[in-house]
Copies of this chain bind each other. A is one copy, B any other.
Amino acid sequence: MNSFLDKLKSKWEENKFVCIGLDKADFEFNKNIIDTTADLSLAYKPQSAFYEADGAAGLEALKKTIQYIREKDPNIPIILDAKRGDIGSTNEAYVKAIFDDLGVDAVTVHPYLGKEAVEPFLQRAEKGIIVLVRTSNPGAGEFQDLEVYPERSRRGKPLYQVVAEHVAKEWNQNNNCAVVVGATYPDEIKKVREIIGDMPILVPGIGAQGGDLEATIKNGLNSQKQGLIISSSRGIIFAPNPREATQTLHSQIQEILANV
Contacts and interface: CB of A to CB of B under 8 A. Distances in A.
A148 interface: yes
Interface string A105-123: 0000011111111000000
A116 B138 CA distance: 7
Categorize the interface residue count of chain A.
Answer: 35 or more
Contacts of A112: 110-112, 132, 135, 143-144
A55 B59 contact: yes
Interface in A135-176: 135-144, 146-150, 156, 159, 162-163, 166
A139 B110 contact: no
B139 A115 contact: yes
Tally of this chain's copies: 2
A256 interface: no
A112 to B, nearest CB: 5
A156 to B, nearest CB: 6
Interface string A80-94: 010111111011011
B139 A148 contact: no
A97 interface: yes
A68 interface: no
Nearest to A163: B143
A53 interface: yes
A93 B146 contact: no
B49 A97 contact: yes
A27 interface: no
A47 interface: yes
A240 B146 CA distance: 47
Given A112-B110, A114-B139, A117-B139, A86 B148 contact: no
Given A53-B96, A59-B55, A146-B150, A85 B110 contact: yes
B142 A166 contact: yes
Given A96-B53, A97-B53, A148-B148, A142 B115 contact: yes
Interface in A164-192: 166
A150 B143 CA distance: 9
A56 B102 CA distance: 12
Contacts of A117: 135, 137, 139-140
A110 B117 CA distance: 14
Q: List the 7 closest A-B pairs by CB distance, nearest first.
A: A116-B139, A114-B142, A49-B93, A114-B139, A53-B93, A87-B137, A52-B97
